[in-house]
Chain A
Amino acid sequence: MNLINKDILGIEPLSREEIEGILDTAVSFKEVSTRQIKKVPTLRGRTIINLFFEASTRTRTSFEIAGKRLSADVINISASTSSAVKGESLLDTAYNLEAMNPDLLIVRHGVSGAPHMIAKHIKCPVINAGDGAHEHPTQALLDLLTIREHSKQLAGLKVAIVGDIAHSRVARSNIHAMLKCGMEVTVVGPPTMIPVGIECLGVKVLHNLEEAVAQVDVVMMLRIQLERQNEGLFPSFREYSNLFCLTADKLKNSRKDILIMHPGPVNRGIEIALDVMEGPHSVILDQVNNGVALRMALMYLLLGGGSETDH
């Protein structure tokens, strides 16, 4: 299986066949992480750079473990964007890294489109590890992998994505991925957190959590960024959690086999109640576990076949 583009910048440019191919490959990679020696020599001698302009523990670690289990050399670089870093230095950073001949660059940036700009200017493949409020493709893929493990097929499944849709790259990538795979998506949140024109993507909009979870097979809770309260998107955390915290009570009319997901890190008691998070429907830790296999699969698919320049 070959991917069409050199980079993975988002789900939007991927075809359904590519998505399914990535998921199939990821399934095969899960086995490696169950071995006592959790390492295969596939990417021996390859260099992978984790370039993170935004703080992240989970995603960065997941990429790092994935690279190391494939025997690649993984280097982590954290760059701060706090001091209004100009694009010139963003590109300069990329050019400097490229001069060291990495085989893969993994980029997270607080601004939508920043990894696209880097990818346009450098030769090695780029994986977007989250850009602004745009896309977080590996998260959506691992989410689909997790759902697929619990349901026979993706097509026809109904999903509710709940929370700050406006500022969520996880939501956007999942919407693209799920719709491409034939799923039905409803976004749920206060109108202040539902972005203009979202329904044009092909999703339904609801503002009542209980009503939404009664209709779906999967509910995906998003993290509420604590600073959003200052922007006036909701009056208080108390009010938000009254309306949108997933509790056992709000789940009382839901399917018995509903899946509950969260990309983490979780604000316990604000978007999801502790007992629900740790309850039988929660697959939050499966998501984390699948993240490594999924990222190994992408690294393999981007680097496994060699590159044009190798010849």
Chain B
Amino acid sequence: MKLIIKNGRVIDPANNIDGDYDVVIDKGVIQSVTPSGKMKEDSTAKIIDAKGCIVAPGFMDMHVHFREPGFEYKETIESGCESAAAGGFTTVAMMPNTNPVNDNRSVTELMISRAKAHGKVQALAIGAITKGLKGETLSDMGDLKEAGVIAFSDDGRPVMNNQVMRRALEYSRMFDLPLIQHSEILDLTHGGCMNESRISTELGLKGMPTEAEDIMVYRDIALLEKTGGRLHVAHISSGESVELVRRAKAKGLAVTCEVAPHHFSLTDESVRGYDTNTKMSPPLRAQSDIDAIKAGLKDGTIDIIATDHAPHDLADKQADYHSACFGIVGLETALPLSLRLVDEKVLTLPQMVEKLTSRPAEIFKLDQGTLGVGKQADVVIFDPSEEYKVEAAKFKSKSKNSPFDGWPVKGRVSNTIYKGKITYTK
């Protein structure tokens, strides 16, 4: 069915478009993007009036945990995709820490086919760097690539062994896929559950120092400089790590990185009160880290925004702070939290859209993330000024573990369109 999105402000960073345009979609692809009001009436098309709204390429979240197979009580690929669509996402990349781990073709194929069957979101798979995420033996990367993975990661667990990481960087060069590292020196964070700071001292919780992140980011960059290959630093949270990436980029190394919205929205102050929805890894950091992250977003050191959507059911979170699981859901709060960056003038609106669309597409070599004519019609329409309160209970995700529940926010998705079909309507 033909779809016309009229009167919206179209932001398509890949094509340098920012202005009032009408977008015509048919047969699953973008047919035309023309200045508003110049289009002929078309009674056969469904019209979406996007007045006051932004029309952008569908968002891409290159870091989600959909828990299937293995932990379907927390999330399934289906519920995860529903959550993604509600958040304005048309593409997500699923981390391999499932059970069984996605370190082999059969799991990859299962995950991808589940997502295709649901059909509302392009859910891509990330394969494990090492078998069983154990950090010992490399997974069959060639076979995984053929099965469809778009990157490798042992996310949730860092590759601790230097030699294994070096081999992984070298070996992955054959496939030109990035390695996504969860940077954390485990012996420095053992038993930790929040940022190490005066607040962890006051609360009597074991800290996870920023050095644990910095040292691994430094190590990986040092290795990369020799081995070649591509390194993508997951959920960067430490100011020093941002600086390390900045310097590596200046040297021309193939390093990219992402930040999760909670790491630029909350500090470790919010751990006071022991709300387990403030427990994530890497942990919420200090204000100085947030400032450095914002500077990194501004100057492009931080390439993309990715949610690290990590659903956990009530029992996993309704525990004492030490025993509770790490992580929060993020897909349905990513837009309003990212828009705060625009309000704070850290990013322009097109820059924000870029970090959620064309830039991730570029890094992960996906022919998407733009509204170019002839491209797959993945579109999000959102009202950047609608004010409301976050209601976790209404999330499409199976899990409601969000520290942003009850927050007054601005910016809401009104429609998500995937392959020319409306997958979400407010």
Contact = CB atoms under 8 A, between A and B. Distances in A.
B323 A111 contact: yes
Contacts of A86: 315-316, 319, 323
A112 B203 CA distance: 7
A113 to B, nearest CB: 3
A111 B321 contact: yes
Contacts of A111: 320-323
Nearest to A121: B318
A196 B319 contact: no
Interface in A105-159: 109, 111-114, 116-117, 131-135
B274 A198 contact: no
B274 A196 contact: no
A113 B321 contact: yes
B320 A117 contact: yes
B322 A112 contact: yes
Q: Which of B199, B205, B273, B320 gathers the greatest number of chain A CB atoms within 10 Å?
A: B320
Interface in A159-188: 166, 169, 172
Given A172-B202, A196-B201, A201-B202, A112 B315 contact: no
Nearest to A201: B202
B414 interface: no
B207 interface: yes
A195 interface: yes
Interface in B305-346: 315-324
Contacts of B320: 87, 90, 109, 111, 113-114, 117
A112 B205 contact: yes
A1 interface: no
A114 B204 CA distance: 11
A100 interface: no
B200 interface: yes
Contacts of B321: 111-114, 117
Contacts of A90: 319-320
B198 interface: yes
B274 A113 contact: yes
B323 A113 contact: no
B32 interface: no
Interface in B185-208: 196-207
A131 B205 CA distance: 10
A133 B204 contact: yes
Q: Which of A87, A114, A198 gathers the greatest number of chain B CB atoms within 10 Å?
A: A87
A200 B198 CA distance: 7
B204 A172 contact: yes
A112 B205 CA distance: 6
A126 to B, nearest CB: 13
A169 B323 contact: no
Interface residues of A, number: 29
A85 B205 contact: no
A114 B319 CA distance: 8
A50 to B, nearest CB: 18
A115 B77 CA distance: 36
A197 B323 contact: no
B322 A132 contact: yes
A198 to B, nearest CB: 6
A84 interface: yes
A88 interface: yes
Contacts of A87: 276, 315, 317-320, 323-324
B181 to A, nearest CB: 25
Interface in B72-106: none
A88 B319 contact: yes
A209 B200 CA distance: 26
A90 B201 CA distance: 24
A133 B273 CA distance: 15
Given A113-B274, A196-B198, A197-B198, A88 B203 contact: no
Given A116-B274, A196-B196, A196-B197, A134 B323 contact: no
Contacts of A135: 204
A33 to B, nearest CB: 31
Nearest to B274: A113
A91 interface: yes
A57 to B, nearest CB: 22
Contacts of B196: 196
A172 B203 CA distance: 9
Nearest to A118: B320
A193 B318 CA distance: 31
Contacts of A84: 323
B175 to A, nearest CB: 39
Interface in B172-225: 196-207, 209
B255 to A, nearest CB: 29
A203 B274 CA distance: 24
5 contacts: A86-B323, A87-B323, A133-B205, A195-B200, A200-B201
Interface of B: 196-207, 209, 273-274, 276, 315-324
Given A86-B316, A86-B319, A111-B321, 20 more contacts: A84-B323, A85-B323, A86-B315, A87-B320, A88-B319, A90-B319, A111-B320, A112-B204, A112-B205, A116-B273, A117-B321, A132-B322, A135-B204, A196-B196, A196-B200, A196-B207, A197-B197, A197-B199, A197-B201, A198-B201
Closest 3 CB pairs of A and B: A87-B319, A197-B198, A134-B204
